Amino acid sequence: MAPSAPGSPAPTTPPVRAGRPRVSAKGEQTRARLIAAARTLLAGGMSERFTTRNVAALCGVSHGMCHYHFQDRTDLVLAVIADIRPEWIHPLEAAVSGEGSFAQRSERVLELLSRPEGAELSHLHSALHWHALNDARVRECLEAEYSRWRACFVTLFAVLADERGGGVDPRLLGEAVAAAVDGLAAAESLGSEVDPGPVLRALIRTLAAGVYPGVCRGV
């Protein structure tokens, strides 16, 4: 390359845009509508009809527009997994990470878990599990979500360990409660009349009393 002439301005390099191109507001709206349509099909127990073509038809856009936003139906399922995160993981994380003692945080967690899960969210979880059995990408993504969800209970018992000054295995106790919550949710989805609130309260109270006598009075 020839050197620049004396006194001439230095050549400039055009800025390079990093990452994905910015999506327009209309594009974001279309994407959100496609995710909503995907949720409707999945929650309606229509896994056999869950295709990008059917999602596009329900959304009222062209099949090509669906593929503009999502490469395939797996991408749509992954988007649904991310879309429901604020409905079941974020509230639990907020309940555990807020200020307060183990007893206070436990009470917030119990109040949250005692609320009945909406029918749509329950059906979505069932459909997502079905897709996870048949798609490695969905399985990996869903397992990451559940790991994050289970970590909330580990964090809760880490507070107990800090209050006691050691001698508590937060992971063991947290995973035990998480497994119980998962089992109760499965029972509820089958129409069981078991009330999860008292069961979970008794479990957390017993675990807390077993490693930290006296704390259960506040749970």
Cα-based distances in Å from 87 to 22, 34, 48, 193: 27, 18, 25, 23
**171 sits in which H/E element:** helix 170-189
Least confident window among 71-80, 101-110, 124-133, 184-193: 184-193
79 C-beta neighbours (distance < 10 Å), count: 17
pLDDT digits (tens, 9 = 90+) for 73-115: 999 999 999 999 999 999 999 999 999 999 999 999 999 998 8
Check pLDDT > 50 for residue 6.
no
Task: Report the first-to-last Cα separation within the chain, whole angstroms.
Answer: 75
pLDDT digits (tens, 9 = 90+) for 144-160: 999 999 999 999 999 99
> What does 20-62 look like in DSSP terms, one character per residue?
SPPPPHHHHHHHHHHHHHHHHHHHTT-GGG--HHHHHHHHTS-
- pLDDT at residue 24 in the model: 79
Check pLDDT > 70 for residue 211.
no
Least confident window among 36-50, 53-67, 128-142: 36-50
- pLDDT, mean of residues 107-133: 90
Q: What percent of the chain is modeled with pLDDT above 90?
A: 63
Check pLDDT > 70 for residue 62.
yes
Cα-based distances in Å from 164 to 101, 134, 172, 176, 203: 11, 44, 16, 19, 19
- pLDDT at residue 47 in the model: 67
pLDDT tier for residue 187 given thresholds of 50, 70 and 90? confident
Check pLDDT > 50 for residue 218.
no
Task: Give the mean pLDDT of the chain.
Answer: 85
- pLDDT at residue 3 in the model: 40
pLDDT digits (tens, 9 = 90+) for 10-40: 444 444 444 444 557 888 999 999 999 999 9
- pLDDT at residue 17 in the model: 40
Check pLDDT > 70 for residue 169.
yes
Kindly state the tokens that stand for 188: 């509820």
